[in-house]
Amino acid sequence: MQFRPNITKTEEIKQIAMADAALTVAFAIALAGGIGRIGDAIFLLPMAFVAVTLSFVLHELMHKYVAQHYGAIAAFQTSKMGLIITLGTSLFGFLFGIPGATVIYTNSFTVKQNGVTSLAGPLTNFAVFAVFFVIFLLVPGHSYLNMLAALVMFISILLAFFNMLPIMPLDGSKVLRWSRKIYFSSMGVILALMGVAYYALSGSIKGMLIEIVFMLFIAVFFSMFYRNVL
């Protein structure tokens, strides 16, 4: 038996556009340092839009298309509470970004199919990172395009890392269940690319460890929220 999502194509586009907009605004505010630095947030907004659209939207769409390739029914759905949390946390200069996710409806996925579908999103982030890394190397330093490329690299690999944490319902838990070798290889690449992204964005990787610990905390909290513990 399969459960079909009660969502039309038009409604799905609206929902993913809403999530994209919310996450864009949230990233711009959080990167600026919170609501007290709204001028910096406005400056970052166009760059955040490009970065989030390429990193988040393509990530979710790839989950959907791979799931459909395996015969599942998949649709992106926003979370009203997730949108509030995403925007609300950004006001304080940090981000708990859970505006929505691709929901997959099937009763016939194998462990491998579930793992491949889950890995498809982070692999998309790798591709986005690679394209903008080339742009970052080719354009003059400290130019607007150079800053844009660095920000896209940063947000893309940050989303890949968060989603690959081995905690339900994140992608990493399903990839790890499928293949430990592929999981740890992927995480090794992500950590290396995170170092590159941090250096490209700030000239240092000092904040990387703090960011990793913070995202681990968020992921654990998210897992508890997902399981209705909190």
142: left (phi over 0), alpha (psi -120 to 50) or beta: left
pLDDT at 199: 84
- Is 226 a residue whose pLDDT tops 80? no
Instruction: Give the pLDDT mean for 8-34.
Output: 92
Q: Is 101 helix (H, G, I), strand (E, B) or coil?
A: strand
Contact 128, 160 (CB under 8 A): no
Ranking 23-32, 122-131, 210-219 by mean pLDDT, the lowest is 210-219
What per-residue confidence (pLDDT) applies to 98?
86
- Give the pLDDT confidence of 177-207 residue by residue, as tens digits: 999 999 999 999 999 998 898 888 876 566 6
Domain map (residue ranges) of the chain: 9-226
Catalytic residue among 11, 12, 60, 211: 60
Gyration radius (Cα) of the chain, Å: 17
Q: How many CB atoms lie within 10 A of CB 76?
A: 24
The tens digit of pLDDT for each residue in 129-153 reads 999 999 999 998 888 999 999 999 9
Residue 103: in which H helix or E strand, if any?
A: strand 100-105
- Taken in order 148, 150, 155, 159, the sign of the CA dihedral is positive
Q: What is residue 209's DSSP assignment? A: H
Output the pLDDT for position 2. 42
- 60 an active-site residue? yes
